[in-house]
Amino acid sequence: MSRAALQQHLDHLAEQGRHVDLWLRDDDAVRPTPALEQLLGLAARHEVPLTLAVIPEETGEDLAERLTAERRVDVAVHGWSHRSYSTPPAKKQELGRDRPLDVVLDELSAGFRKLHALHGAGFVPMLVPPWNRIAPQIVAALPGLGFRLLSVFGRETPAALPLLNTHLDIMDWHGIHGGRPADSLHAELLEHLRAEPRLAAIGVLTHHLVHDATAWAFLEELLALTARHPACRWRRARDLVPGLAI
């Protein structure tokens, strides 16, 4: 029923001449893998742009070479090592105040430079904090490192630089650690579409390395439903935030 309600709402938007912008962010990329190939193939079939949040520490030329021909794929900085430095029971966090601020900023600067050098025009100066967590003091320093955009999870709030967040996470991190049920995701997406004030763009969050059959099936269904629907526009991050190119 949730899918039918979502379809009906999108059809209604189209009848009114309205549209919704969506964007796709996938986290934790390091190197080419079968799972990454599946994601790239899915996005290409539906002509949907993709932002890959890449972990700089261990990535290299193999990923850069693989992405060279992918015209709709952008690369963002996913921390430095995706290693947590928080002390349990605190939640996992790489970009917190558990280490000296200058150490964290040096790593982020190194990640920025490395991914920019590897991916050239495919690089966007966006920081995606691991686990979507970052200390305010680090956020305040990001423009000085060259970052022009921050992306976490949840509704955007005022920050030291523009935010382009994700809002729909297809994974169940607290239960089965697999894909969430499609009906639940359809219902949540419908809530975002109906919410006021409207989101400037609805971000869909995926993690290709841990997708199970349920996650892949939902993503296929979502893109099939929306990619060519007149009420939907899948956008690149660089097209949603003016002046993002470097």
Chain CA centroid to CA 107, Å: 21
Residue 27 has pLDDT above 90, yes or no: yes
Model pLDDT, residue 242 = 78
Question: What does residue 88 show for φ and ψ, rounded to 5 degrees?
Answer: -55, 145
Return the CATH number of the domain spanning residue range 2-237: 3.20.20.370
Does the pLDDT of residue 41 top 70, yes or no?
yes
Give residue-wise pLDDT tens across range 103-115.
Answer: 999 999 999 999 9
Question: With bands split at pLDDT 50, 70 and 90, how would you rate the model's confidence at 244?
Answer: confident
Tell me the pLDDT of the chain averaged across its residues.
96
Model-wide pTM > 0.95: yes
Domain boundaries, the chain: 2-237
Classified as helix, coil or strand, 146 is coil
Give residue-wise pLDDT tens across range 155-187. Answer: 999 999 999 999 999 999 988 789 999 999 999
Q: What percent of the chain has pLDDT over 90?
A: 94
Q: State the Cα–Cα distance between residues 159 and 164, nearest whole angstrom.
A: 11
Largest interatomic CA distance in the chain:
54
Q: Where are the beta strands (DSSP E) in the chain?
A: 20-29, 50-54, 73-77, 123-127, 149-150, 168-169, 202-206, 232-234
Pairing relationship of beta strands 123-127 and 149-150 according to DSSP bridges: parallel
Q: For residue 237, what are its two tokens?
A: 């991050």
Tokens of 137: 């003091």
CA pair distance 24, 236, nearest whole angstrom: 8
